[in-house]
Structure 1
């Protein structure tokens, strides 16, 4: 396994300098937007952690649009996004900037102008190019809105060693490391697309968490997974490995959306939207994945040996329902449990 820490120093074996002949992403171009994201968090509970740039800014557009007045804007990578009745915000239709190109070792193929992750055994089918990285960052932003600014729900205290599986752009790992300077944070993914030079207590590695053995020298106090419905053939494999690599009393937390939209007035039933989600479920099954995994997280944690397992099922916070729902209109499951 190989990777680099957030200051750009190449490492392998979870912290050791690599062989110079190995392919390390030392020349990887990085997303400058993520590196500056500490000043773009409008909804963080600890505003002093992220800076107070947003406190003096207007959170509303100057137009008279009634759609825009529904809720404050989201500052997403420098773009102000407002709730709108348009199907896709115009800001998200821009051409990829190419500022975060995956290194050659992380690219399997290019199809329809999109690049995809490579790994000997991994079957992740979503892209890893700049457009996808922007989507992942927006996804993180929306989860923070849904969680009232929090990065996690489990009562973890001050964990010394933290693992973020399927870290994506690394945005969660980086923000967690800033909130917890006492923690050593590792983020793993099939693609080395994470930014460099952000904080010194984060390291990133390319790893297939499901199909390869974990060789961490020290157990973790907290393992985090978010939006991993599309990542694994069998989530139970990763859950079992997490249990084996947690210290006694350590926590695991999984958060995922639920792709079974519901309506209070019954208007969803029989609609084109319902038929679209039915087709989406069928397509996922055909690709060897399932949108039903999140509903099984609690059962799988208990079967693996976790105790004090808590399952939280909730809609968007009421103040942001119409706003956040325009961008990510689903309910979400958060499940966490402790190793005895």
Structure 2
């Protein structure tokens, strides 16, 4: 009887190496430990809510500085608007992956949580998790939704209870290592499960050259240049397929959708989509540029406002016809 027990102990020692964590002996036999724990938990909570206020905007407190866009009400309204834009682009579909009866789902960098909430309404049998650096999601949500404060570029613990479906959307200018993130998704999705990323090639272009030399082009060149110098990826869309392949996914599907900026297209659907793009961009010009240019390029707030104003003006010209490419890429982890 002793031999199996010894073997089991040896295996456990190999898989779980000893970690020497020093004990704080001041807590031993201390009846106030419960009060101390409450105080420590409150301190952790307050650190999440200690937002940075800068240039008239509010930014996340947890992992301060790792995300360069605001998290205030003005920005949250814009994120909800961008949710509607994506629905317009995808003809009211939340996702394109061929998932069936998902039981456990996560939405990475969920923002206001609107995608997670809509998905939970459509799939009441699924447990849906939304994670983000900021706890700015609503409290009145479907019972099968919960939100977590987490940094998706840090190490995950999700592999212990893997997901049927992992979704991420609009992460350009937010992530520094997409390849690593997508490999974490691979490890955290069940065999046979699906991962879907929806994102942009951030730099607009025009087919007739009308975009070249405009204030709109100057805006994106300056702002995206600052993000790139800070280490962020601003053109994830066309690279997603390669990252999915490198991670080990199979049955990868890529959908590239050219999306107009503005109401210049003749096609009614494209005109409507272009209007959503323009509104989303105009309401976000200053938000997208302030932190990147003032923190990394030593611009003043007034200079950023002037740049945004010029971009806004040229974006409204009927003789300027910008296009930006939207990508939907999904893949499956092999069954075996």
TM-score (normalizing by structure 1): 0.67
Matches within 5 A, 1:197-212: 197-212=140-155
Q: Identify if the C-alpha distance between structure 1 residues 215 and 156 changes in structure 2 by more than 3 Å, giving closer, same or farther.
A: closer
Matches within 5 A, 1:92-111: 105-111=48-54
1:332 is the counterpart of 2:326: yes
In the alignment, structure 2 segments of 5+ residues that lack a partner are: 1-36, 261-266, 279-323
1:323 is the counterpart of 2:266: no
For 2:238, which of 272, 295, 299 is the aligned residue?
295
Give 1:320 deviation, angstroms. 2.6
Give 1:238 deviation, angstroms. 1.3
CA distance in 2: counterparts of 1:195 and 1:183, whole angstroms: 19
CA distance in 2: counterparts of 1:308 and 1:195, whole angstroms: 35
Residues 159 and 221 in structure 1, CA contact (< 8 A), matched pair in contact too:
yes
Question: Deviation string for 1:274-305 (max 9, x for gaps)?
Answer: 33332233122122213122221110010000
Residues 23 and 105 in structure 1, CA contact (< 8 A), matched pair in contact too:
no
Matches within 5 A, 1:195-234: 195-215=138-158, 217-234=160-177
Residues 162 and 223 in structure 1, CA contact (< 8 A), matched pair in contact too:
yes
Give 1:242 deviation, angstroms. 0.7
Question: Deviation string for 1:25-78 (max 9, x for gaps)?
Answer: 99xxxxxxxxxxxxxxxxxxxxxxxxxxxxxxxxxxxxxxxxxxxxxxxxxxxx
CA distance in 2: counterparts of 1:255 and 1:304, whole angstroms: 17
Give 1:104 deviation, angstroms. 6.1
Secondary structure of the residue that 2:93 maps to in structure 1? coil
CA distance in 1: counterparts of 2:332 and 2:277, whole angstroms: 29
Give 1:327 deviation, angstroms. 3.5
In the alignment, what sits opposite 1:114? 57
Residues 187 and 204 in structure 1, CA contact (< 8 A), matched pair in contact too:
yes
Residues 107 and 116 in structure 1, CA contact (< 8 A), matched pair in contact too:
no
1:191 is the counterpart of 2:134: yes
The structure whose residues are more often helix, as a share, is: 2
The count of corresponding residues between Structure 1 and Structure 2 is: 246
Give 1:197 deviation, angstroms. 2.2
Q: Identify if the C-alpha distance between structure 1 residues 23 and 294 changes in structure 2 by more than 3 Å, giving closer, same or farther.
A: farther
CA distance in 2: counterparts of 1:25 and 1:319, whole angstroms: 50
In the alignment, what sits opposite 1:258? 201
CA distance in 1: counterparts of 2:277 and 2:50, whole angstroms: 28
Question: Deviation string for 1:165-208 (max 9, x for gaps)?
Answer: 00000000000000011111001000111111220000100011
Matches within 5 A, 1:84-95: none
Q: Identify if the C-alpha distance between structure 1 residues 228 and 183 changes in structure 2 by more than 3 Å, giving closer, same or farther.
A: same
TM-score (normalizing by structure 2): 0.68
Q: Identify if the C-alpha distance between structure 1 residues 120 and 290 changes in structure 2 by more than 3 Å, giving closer, same or farther.
A: closer
In the alignment, structure 1 segments of 5+ residues that lack a partner are: 1-18, 27-102
For 2:220, which of 273, 277, 280 is the aligned residue?
277
1:143 is the counterpart of 2:86: yes
Residues 60 and 71 in structure 2, CA contact (< 8 A), matched pair in contact too:
yes
Q: Identify if the C-alpha distance between structure 1 residues 338 and 311 changes in structure 2 by more than 3 Å, giving closer, same or farther.
A: same
Q: Identify if the C-alpha distance between structure 1 residues 327 and 287 changes in structure 2 by more than 3 Å, giving closer, same or farther.
A: farther
1:127 is the counterpart of 2:70: yes
Higher CA-based Rg: 2
Greater than 6 Å deviation, 4+ residue runs: none
Secondary structure of the residue that 2:204 maps to in structure 1? coil
Give 1:122 deviation, angstroms. 6.4
CA distance in 2: counterparts of 1:113 and 1:216, whole angstroms: 40
Give 1:112 deviation, angstroms. 1.9
Give 1:109 deviation, angstroms. 1.2
Secondary structure of the residue that 2:74 maps to in structure 1? helix
